[in-house]
Amino acid sequence: MLDAPALTTDEAVECAVRVYGVTASGSLLPSERDQNVLLQTDAGERFVLKIANASESRALLEAQNAALAHVARRSSLCQSVIPTIDGASIAEVTSAGVTYLMRLFTWLPGSPLAETPAPSIDLLEDLGSRLAELDGALDGFDHPAVHRAFHWDLARGFDIVRESSPLIADAALRALVVSVADRVAARDGERLARLRRAVVHNDPNDYNVLVRPSAEGTAAIVGLLDFGDIVYSYRAADLAIAIAYAVLDKADPLATAEAIVRGYARTRGVDDDEAASLYALVLLRLCMSTSIAAHQQAQRPGDPYLSVSQAAIARTLPRLASLDRDAVDAALRAARGRTVQDTLAARRRVVGPSLSIAYRDPIKIVRGWMQYLYDDAGRRYLDAYNNVPHVGHSHPRVVRAAAEQLLVLNTNTRYLHDVLPTFAERLVATLPPPLRVCYFVNSGSEANELALRLARAHTRRRNVVVLDAAYHGNTTTLIDISPYKFNGPGGEGAPPWVHVLPLPDTYRGTYRRDDPRAGEKYAELARYAPNPGAFIAESAPSVGGQLVLPDRYLASVYAIVRAAGGVCIADEVQTAYGRMGTHFYAFEAQHVVPDIVVLGKPIGNGYPLGAVVTRPEIAASFDNGMEFFSTFGGSTVSCAVGLAVLDVVQEERVQEHARAVGGALLRRLRDAVGGHPLVGDIRGSGLFLGVELVRDRETLEPAAAEASDVVNRMRERGVLLGTDGPLHNVIKIRPPMPFNEEDAACLVEVLAETLASVRRT
Ligand code: PMP
């Protein structure tokens, strides 16, 4: 290996100005094989100029830069690369006749974890969590240069120890390293060979982990440095390597390791093979470190860098090697937390039995990212079911908006704050006039409750007209207007003030798609509803079976109900914000303007947020002297979240995306499964789709058990869907909006294969 570059500080400072336009003073930072220069501007800004060893490959530096950029999308733990004046992420500098590759990085504050001699259990758990964050942020990253033969790759550990351990000078240590590595090979070799692989940082040693003491005195991990060892290796490598360094010279190495695993497993899965291999990987890494150091010492005698960890390893390895492996493995397995079965049992003990759990084989989800969910073993699922995380699970803009507002203020609507009227202005601007007055609550149910109160205050009538199979929420009154509940198990039927209209289902209802006047004909039935105060319906019934209403249905019902003195409520809890593709709200596709619009699920992207928007006259009727107040409704944080979601919905043009991807998905579904005998109907709009299964295409006998079977088998294959509809035979497809064409192709492929093998019950 060539010597590390040795620019003078003056040379480095001159380079910074010429190449990056950064005027700063410089000072040297330690580095093993590169040269690192800390640059500080007069304004107090800090950068690190990193001049790579001349033996470094450009491709590897490009891979590191790309990895940093990939990580930065999901985490702020790592440095960013600052481009040159010309926009390049890698520059060249020549010194003493040698040309080096050079990069400029942002500076991360904090001090190395190595300088915290007795880290608290909390800090170690935080280390685990941050590592999981880093590894999670690396998910999906790849680059040809990281598939390399690298001596620090744990997956090559046995070879490295075999080649270099003979150079370990201390005979006792040499014998120990060889015997530990041999034992690991014998006990764990087979399992290690089948461990999952991924791109890993590969060197979260305690000098690369930065700690900042917080104001309250509890320290926190704030940074992870140095992607120089990045490699495609064991997915569990970062966790094992961090443990390997964190346990050195610790009084209780097992408690240290357990804390790190505990923190890690909170957000990132560790599967059984990985848990059983962690300690083996810790031992192997330490054996590798000693062997590699001996090898390098032979080449560069007297280099102090090479012995940084060696004394501590020599002191600690004998203790680590003497621990009972079965006990250690069991402890680390337990540190991952409860198993799915434990969680299920605990939940059954302490949570009301009427809550349901999806799938016959329940999933324990620990993390979400955009259209994907990850279980406790780190398995990724394509989420084609959840419409609440509209712009994606954990969308960073939304998360940041919530976190930043929480840090400053979260209070109620009785104080003035700009975020409330700003959000309300933005929200009403998405709706047609005269829908101009907002109320904010905490759920779809609360919003529907309030909508009913508004309607009753305005019309002074109690009667409500609803669609069959509808669900509008979980409160006492909403159960009374939800046929899905009052006609379902445990229900007590419709109260006298509720009038139920048949679902305008043109696949299996009285009037079908071949009837161009089906919409009006279904609507006519509204004339039989006595003294309607309100008509409430989803503008595209979801629980009703992912129906798209026939043309002119809502316009005709609205006309009838209004003529009879009622007002019309559009429950857009599932359909708002562009999901339908053709329009921002589903009622727009029906060419109507409701009197009251109810919003929920997607508008908070998972943060509890509901809204009701109405006409000024209805708001005036409701303003009868009784205050309306919701402690959390319209809170500062919820409005900040609502605003961020709306920003993302508009900037990322999710409606157009839903139209394009949903259209392609519908075509693919029709091509791939439209001819399957179980598939009766494929319908929907945008990313609001349904596949209705029937046992007989003539009688339309519903295939509910088959639909449930398909959904369960698809879950086993990593695709999450659900069933719905009054007959429970409709497969529901309504993914988070980042769902793309690739996901659509995957969903259709898995559905087609699953249908091909489905049992007929
Ligand atoms: N309306 C509709 C159409 C819904 O689908 C739901 C929830 N599934 C609600 C209202 C109730 O919303 P929440 O669960 O947020 O109270």
Separation of 696 CA from ligand 1 center, angstroms? 32
Separation of 405 CA from ligand 1 center, angstroms? 26
Please give all residues whose beta carbon lies within 6 A of any atom in ligand 1, as ranges: 443-445, 448, 471-474, 538, 542, 571, 573-574, 600
Separation of 594 CA from ligand 1 center, angstroms? 18
**Which residue, judged by its Cα, is nearest atom 10 of ligand 1?**
472
Q: N- to C-terminal Cα distance for the chain?
A: 68
CA distances from 297 to 287, 305, 306, 308, 310 (A): 15, 10, 7, 12, 11
Compute the distance between CA of residue 366 and CA of residue 735 in angstroms, rounded to an integer.
18
Ligand 1 atom showing the smallest separation from residue 448 Cα: 10
Q: State residue 377's pLDDT score.
A: 79
Contacts of residue 496, Cβ cutoff 8 Å, sequence gap at least 6: none
Q: Hey, which of 450, 484, 574 would you mutate to test ligand 1's pocket, going by the most ligand atoms within 8 Å of its Cβ?
A: 574
Sign of CA dihedral 603, 606, 609, 611: positive
Residue 337, by phi and psi: left (phi above 0), alpha (psi -120 to 50) or beta? left
Ligand 1 atom showing the smallest separation from residue 538 Cα: 3
Separation of 500 CA from ligand 1 center, angstroms? 19
Q: State residue 623's pLDDT score.
A: 98
CA distances from 578 to 73, 237, 385, 572 (A): 25, 42, 16, 11
Compute the distance between CA of residue 14 and CA of residue 296 in angstroms, rounded to an integer.
33
Q: State residue 529's pLDDT score.
A: 97
Ligand 1 atom showing the smallest separation from residue 575 Cα: 3
Separation of 471 CA from ligand 1 center, angstroms? 7
pTM (2 decimals)? Answer: 0.81
CA distances from 675 to 324, 669, 756 (A): 60, 10, 11
Compute the distance between CA of residue 647 and CA of residue 395 in angstroms, rounded to an integer.
12
Separation of 737 CA from ligand 1 center, angstroms? 19
Q: Hey, which of 385, 442, 601 would you mutate to test ligand 1's pocket, going by the most ligand atoms within 8 Å of its Cβ?
A: 601
**Amino acid (one-letter) located at 702:** P
CB 348 within 8 A of CB 282: no
CB 658 within 8 A of CB 579: yes
Separation of 641 CA from ligand 1 center, angstroms? 19
Separation of 443 CA from ligand 1 center, angstroms? 7
Instruction: Give backbone dihedrals phi and psi of 698, rounded to 5 degrees, phi first.
Output: -85, -55
Ligand 1 atom showing the smallest separation from residue 543 Cα: 5
**Which of 686, 684, 678, 671 is closest to 745 using CA atoms?**
671
Separation of 608 CA from ligand 1 center, angstroms? 12
**Which residue, judged by its Cα, is nearest atom 16 of ligand 1?**
445
Separation of 383 CA from ligand 1 center, angstroms? 19
**Which residue, judged by its Cα, is nearest atom 13 of ligand 1?**
444
Separation of 574 CA from ligand 1 center, angstroms? 7
DSSP 74-118: T-SSS--EEPPTTS-SSEEEEETTEEEEEEEEEPPPSEEGGG-SS
Ligand 1 atom showing the smallest separation from residue 600 Cα: 15
pLDDT, one tens digit per residue, over 580-617 is 999 999 999 999 999 999 999 999 999 999 999 999 99
Q: What percent of the chain has pLDDT over 90?
A: 90
Separation of 357 CA from ligand 1 center, angstroms? 17
Q: Hey, which of 385, 388, 471 would you mutate to test ligand 1's pocket, going by the most ligand atoms within 8 Å of its Cβ?
A: 471
DSSP 306-365: GGTTHHHHHHHHHHHHHS-HHHHHHHHHHHT---HHHHHHHHHHHS-TTS--SSSS---E
**Which residue, judged by its Cα, is nearest atom 1 of ligand 1?**
472
Sites in the chain below the pLDDT cut of 50: 1
Separation of 601 CA from ligand 1 center, angstroms? 7
Nearest-10 Cα torsion for 517, 521, 522, 526: 140
Ligand 1 atom showing the smallest separation from residue 610 Cα: 15
Ligand 1 atom showing the smallest separation from residue 443 Cα: 15
**Which residue, judged by its Cα, is nearest atom 12 of ligand 1?**
444
Q: Hey, which of 472, 480, 598 would you mutate to test ligand 1's pocket, going by the most ligand atoms within 8 Å of its Cβ?
A: 472
